[in-house]
Amino acid sequence: MTLTAKIAWDDTVLPFQLDQSDIRGRIARLDGTLDRILEQHDYPPGVEAMVAEMALLTALIGQTIKLRWKLSLQVRGDGPLRLIATDFFAPAEDGAPAQIRAYASYDAERFDPDVDPFAQIGKGYFAILIDQGTGTTPYQGITPIAGGALTACAEAYFAQSEQLPTRFALSYGRAQEPGGDVHWRAGGVMLQHMPEASPFVSGDGGSGEAGLLAAEDILDGEEGENWRRVNLLLDTVEEMEMIGPHVAPTDLLVRLFHEETPRVFDAQAVQFGCTCSPARVRQSLSIYSARDIAHMTTDDGIVTADCQFCGAHYEFDPLTLGFEAERPVDEADGTSG
C-alpha cells in the first residue's frame, strides 16, 4: 500500500453492505484525529485506552446519522473512572468531514493503573443520545454497564434498545513506523444485521449478562445462520489489518467477506472538532444568579471556564454573566466553570 493510499484512508469511515447476508457494516480508521483528541489531556494509559475505544465506537456508530445531527455516547459510573463522553457532529453538507471530540473524568487518587480500567467504571450506564437540532426532542437510549468492555456495552445497547444484532471488532494503541514519530492508530469493524422478523418479546429477559438481550435472542433460522457465518469470518481479522496502515479498508473487506458479495459506499472523512465558544460558555452560566456568579469570581475579579473537550480557557467579567444579566446568548455545551 503506497503512502498516498494510506493517507487517503486515514481518519475515515467506510460503509459497506454484504448482499448475500443482509448485513451492513462500517470500517473505521482514526489516526491524526485520535492524536488530536488525546493530546488535549494528560490521561494515564488506561484512561487513554478507554477514550480511544469510545472514540472509535462513536465514529463507527455516528456515520449513520443525518446531516447536521449530533450523536453523543456517554459512560457514567460510580467508580474511579466516572465519565467518558464523546460527540460526533455530522457534516453540515454532503462531502464535508464529520467532527468528533471526547474526554474522560476520573478520580486520580482512586484510579489504579494496574487494574483493568473498564472495571474501574463501576456500576452505571452506557447511553447513546441523538440531537436532531433546534425544535426537536433529543433521543436517548440507555443500557447498564455490562460485558467487561465498552464494545460489549455498545452491542448490548443495540440488542436491547434497537433490537439490532451488532458486533464490533476494534484495535487501537500507540504505533511507530520506521523513522517516524510515535502516534495513536485505531481501527475497527462494525457489523449490524437488519432483521425482518418481529421484535423479540419475552418476559424472561435475554441470554446476556443481567438478562440483557444478545444477538442469538433476536435471530433464528436463515438470518441466524447468516449472522453466525459472517461473525466467524470477522473472527479471522488481525489487529494490524484493522489499524493499517498497509492494508486498505477495501482490501480488508474483500479479504474477510469476498463470498458475501460486499458492496461499498462513499467514505466519510472524520476530524477532531470542538464547538465551544464564548457565547456557549455564557449560555452555560446563564442558569446562575448574581450571588452564584459572585462565588465563582476569582480574587482577580474574573470568572473562568475551561472546555473539557479541547481545553480552551475562557475569562469573563462577572457582571455580564448569570440570568440577571441581560444579553443575547446561544446554545451551550461541553464546558465547565
Residue 10 has pLDDT above 70, yes or no: yes
> pLDDT band at 263, cuts 50/70/90?
very high
Q: What is the pLDDT of residue 262?
A: 92
Q: Report pLDDT digits (tens) over 179-191.
A: 677 788 999 999 9
Q: What is the pLDDT of residue 5?
A: 47
Q: Report pLDDT digits (tens) over 77-117.
A: 999 999 999 999 999 898 899 999 999 999 999 999 999 99
Residue 280 has pLDDT above 80, yes or no: yes
More confident residue, 128 or 294: 128
More confident residue, 167 or 22: 167
Residue 200 has pLDDT above 70, yes or no: no
State the Rg of the chain over Cα: 22
Q: What is the pLDDT of residue 291?
A: 87
Percentage above 70 pLDDT, the chain: 85
Give the mean pLDDT of 46-70.
Answer: 94
Residue 4 has pLDDT above 70, yes or no: no
Distance CA 34, CA 175 (A): 12
Q: Is 11 within 8 Å of 88 (Cβ atoms)?
A: no
Q: Does domain 10-272 have CATH number 3.30.70.580?
A: no
Residue 260 has pLDDT above 80, yes or no: yes
Write down the pTM of the prediction: 0.84
Fill in the DSSP letter of residue 184: E
Across the chain, mean pLDDT equals 86
Residue 61 has pLDDT above 60, yes or no: yes
Residue 284 has pLDDT above 90, yes or no: no
Distance CA 69, CA 130 (A): 7
Give the mean pLDDT of 135-146.
Answer: 91
Per-domain boundaries in the chain: 10-272, 278-336
| Beta strands 268-272; 98-106: pairing state | parallel
Q: Report pLDDT digits (tens) over 227-240.
A: 999 999 999 999 98
Percentage above 90 pLDDT, the chain: 55
Q: Report pLDDT digits (tens) over 19-35.
A: 888 899 999 999 999 99
Q: What is the pLDDT of residue 330?
A: 41
Q: What is the pLDDT of residue 104?
A: 97
Give the mean pLDDT of 275-304.
Answer: 88
